[in-house]
Amino acid sequence: NRSKTPSTQQITEGLLAGNKTQLSRALTRIESTAEKHQQEGREIIEACLPHANKSIRIGVTGVPGVGKSTFIESFGKLLTSKENKVAVLTVDPSSSLSKGSILGDKTRMEELVKDPNAFIRPSASGDSLGGVAQKTREAIILCEAAGYNIIVIETVGVGQSETAVHSMTDFFLLLKLAGAGDELQGIKRGIMEMADAIVINKADGENRKAAKMAKNEFNRALHLYPPKESGWTPKTLTCSALENEGIDDVWKLIEAYISETKKNQYFQHKRTEQNKFWLLQTIENTLKRDFYNNPKVKKALEVQLKLIEANKTSPFEAAAYLLKLKK
């Protein structure tokens, strides 16, 4: 029977052997909202954990149109040409709001998709950024266990998604465009502080000079920030993702960062801190999910919302009542 669903063990074994179909299946399990699938997903993650953790995790962010997918395609091809296995994951909180996500609709990274040493997975959907981020976090573990030694996590850069991606990566790359001398305007301060490198993309043709100027301006701005705990001074570069220029330098920079932070032990320290953070996040997500999935709560919540509408209870009284409901 060809349509027979493979067992958790079959999926895990295939995944660990590097089989993309089984990796995709495992990811579908963890993304599913069905309790049975989630349980299977947890079993697979458990079996994968001893094989995870050995990758470099790189976050890439930038506004829509900056060239993220073009960059990741060039970057990914460079990495696979150097005998790496690259997985590309995406955190797109908007995928929960509408069926068509910001990143989703067009065919992206057409060449990288075909590369046997690359694996590309669109964003999980979820009803909150926390949920999407947790699934991505789990996806990292599965991809690492499947042998991917470089994980690129892309985010659209809306709202809090950069912070989420920053909290699951070793290196955080901000893509920017050269403007008309007002590069620093409109850039959220927190994002500058998270960046380990700022790369000005589309440094080609007539745009070359402006890109160089932007690079210098960002460089000056970065020096105004206090030194990072990593001991690393954020760097600025220019590149053309389209013409494949300067991509190698970005990789060299990341290698330098990894080597420096492994030497000063910040690399492991950061991962440990991230694990602590994710422990708390997982608890929070689970409590929330269990609470809202409780049938009693579902029913009572509707009633309480109506009572609020009719001004017959206060939010605090209603919350206290709902939180006390047992399964």
CA distances from 323 to 145, 213, 215, 222, 289 (A): 39, 56, 52, 46, 13
Residue nearest to ligand GDP (CB): 67
Residues 120-159 that bind ligand GDP (CB under 6 A): none
CB contact at 8 A, 165 and 103: no
> Smallest distance from the beta carbon of 245 to ligand GDP, in angstroms?
8
CB contact at 8 A, 85 and 148: yes
Closest to ligand GDP by CB, 52 or 242: 242
Binding mask 227-266 for ligand GDP (x = CB under 6 A): -------------xxx------------------------
Q: Is 68 in the site for ligand GDP (CB under 6 A)?
A: yes
User: What's the token pair of residue 1?
Assistant: 């029977």
> Smallest distance from the beta carbon of 66 to ligand GDP, in angstroms?
4
Q: What is the CA radius of gyration of the chain?
A: 22
Q: What are phi and psi of 240, to 5 degrees?
A: -120, 105
Closest to ligand GDP by CB, 154 or 217: 154
Closest to ligand GDP by CB, 174 or 194: 174
> Smallest distance from the beta carbon of 243 to ligand GDP, in angstroms?
6
How far apart, in whole angstroms, are the C-alpha atoms of residue 222 and residue 184? Answer: 10
> Smallest distance from the beta carbon of 146 to ligand GDP, in angstroms?
25
State which amino acid sits at residue 78.
L
Return the axis-axis angle of helices 266-293 and 247-263, rounded to nearest 10°. Answer: 100
> Smallest distance from the beta carbon of 240 to ligand GDP, in angstroms?
4
Residue 167: CB partners within 8 Å, gap ≥ 6?
A: 133, 274, 277, 278
User: What's the token pair of residue 307?
Assistant: 């009572």
> Smallest distance from the beta carbon of 250 to ligand GDP, in angstroms?
12
Torsion angle defined by CA atoms of residues 281, 282, 286 and 287, in that order, rounded to the nearest 10 degrees: -40
Residues 197-216 that bind ligand GDP (CB under 6 A): 201-202, 204
How many residues bind ligand GDP (CB under 6 A)? The answer is: 14
Which region among 62-70, 208-216, 261-269, 312-320 touches ligand GDP (by CB under 6 A)?
A: 62-70
Q: Is 66 in the site for ligand GDP (CB under 6 A)?
A: yes
How far apart, in whole angstroms, are the C-alpha atoms of residue 110 and residue 165? Answer: 24
Binding mask 173-202 for ligand GDP (x = CB under 6 A): ----------------------------xx
Q: What are phi and psi of 34, to 5 degrees?
A: -75, 130
How far apart, in whole angstroms, are the C-alpha atoms of residue 171 and residue 70? Answer: 19
Closest to ligand GDP by CB, 146 or 199: 199
Q: Which positions touch ligand GDP (CB under 6 A)?
A: 62, 64-70, 201-202, 204, 240-242
